[in-house]
């Protein structure tokens, strides 16, 4: 296996979404980690723009077995060199029974649900340990309103044809509310820009 981390090194500090994130809860949902079993597969990351493959890594997991410690193993090549990393898994009792599983950050030793690939640490670490930021943290308020519209539209597209009418109405109201907030914020920003242009003696552009 291999391919992740190949090519040009990162320039600047990447965002969480760029850093080949691993979400423990999603790994369970997708069947890559199975309680009471060992499992082996490969993980593939794709671009959100064109769905092209951006990286891959070999993956093994052992969870809730008496003969093996709870862990996941990642292996392959990193920047054309052999790579392997072991990350411990720990669990706490769930509020509704069963267990809730977490990864243990190799740097901080704390439980976490999400790990990201950090070139500085040479492997996957928790988001706080990496120092990376989410795209949403770098957006202004107008950008966050636009993202809210995108999320509402995506939720609307994911609705099953068997979804209840009350569910469809709720999602539609979410979309309308997000669009209304965006319009209000845009008008405020446009008003401020026009005021500055007027002070500078320029024609109204917005």
- Phi/psi at 183 (nearest 5 deg)? -60, -40
- Phi/psi at 156 (nearest 5 deg)? -65, -40
For residue 136, the model assigns a pLDDT of 60
Task: Please tell me the distance from the alpha carbon of residue 119 to that of residue 115, in angstroms, as a whole number.
Answer: 13
For residue 4, the model assigns a pLDDT of 46
* Distance between first and last Cα of the chain: 53
Please list the residues that pair with 42 across neighbouring strands. 58
pTM of the predicted model over 0.85: no
Q: Give 200's Cβ-side CA count (13 Å radius).
A: 10
For residue 206, the model assigns a pLDDT of 47
For residue 3, the model assigns a pLDDT of 45
Q: pLDDT tens, position by position, for the chain (206 residues)?
A: 344 444 344 444 667 666 678 889 999 999 999 988 899 888 887 765 566 666 778 899 999 998 899 999 999 876 677 889 999 999 999 888 889 999 999 999 999 998 988 877 888 888 888 878 766 655 667 777 888 888 899 888 988 888 899 999 999 999 999 899 889 888 888 888 888 888 877 765 54
For residue 122, the model assigns a pLDDT of 81
Q: For residues 67 and 73, is the Cβ–Cβ distance under 8 A?
A: no
How far are the Cα atoms of 14, 19, 182 from residue 143, in angstroms, in the given order? 19, 21, 9
Task: Please tell me the distance from the alpha carbon of residue 15 to that of residue 116, in angstroms, as a whole number.
Answer: 10
For residue 24, the model assigns a pLDDT of 92
Go through the chain and tell me how many residues it has: 206
- 3-state class of 162 per DSSP? coil
């Amino acid at each position: 296996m291999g391919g992740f981390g190949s090519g040009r090194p990162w320039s600047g500090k990447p965002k969480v979404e760029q850093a080949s994130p691993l979400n423990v809860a999603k790994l369970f949902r997708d069947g890559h980690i199975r309680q009471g079993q060992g499992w082996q597969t490969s993980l593939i990351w794709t671009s959100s723009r064109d769905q092209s493959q951006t990286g891959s890594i070999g993956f093994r997991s052992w969870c809730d077995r008496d003969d093996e410690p709870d862990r996941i193993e990642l292996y392959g090549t990193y920047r054309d060199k052999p790579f392997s990393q072991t990350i411990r898994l720990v669990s706490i009792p769930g509020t509704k029974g069963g267990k809730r599983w977490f990864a243990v950050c190799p740097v901080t030793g704390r439980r976490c649900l999400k790990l990201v690939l950090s070139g500085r640490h040479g492997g996957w670490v928790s988001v706080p340990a990496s120092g990376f930021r989410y795209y949403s943290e770098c957006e202004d308020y107008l950008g966050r309103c636009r993202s809210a519209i995108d999320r509402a539209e995506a939720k609307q597209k994911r609705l099953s044809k068997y979804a209840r009418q009350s569910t469809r109405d709720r999602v539609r109201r979410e979309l309308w509310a997000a669009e209304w907030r965006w319009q209000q914020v845009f008008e405020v920003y446009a008003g401020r820009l026009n005021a500055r242009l007027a002070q500078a003696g320029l024609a109204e552009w917005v």
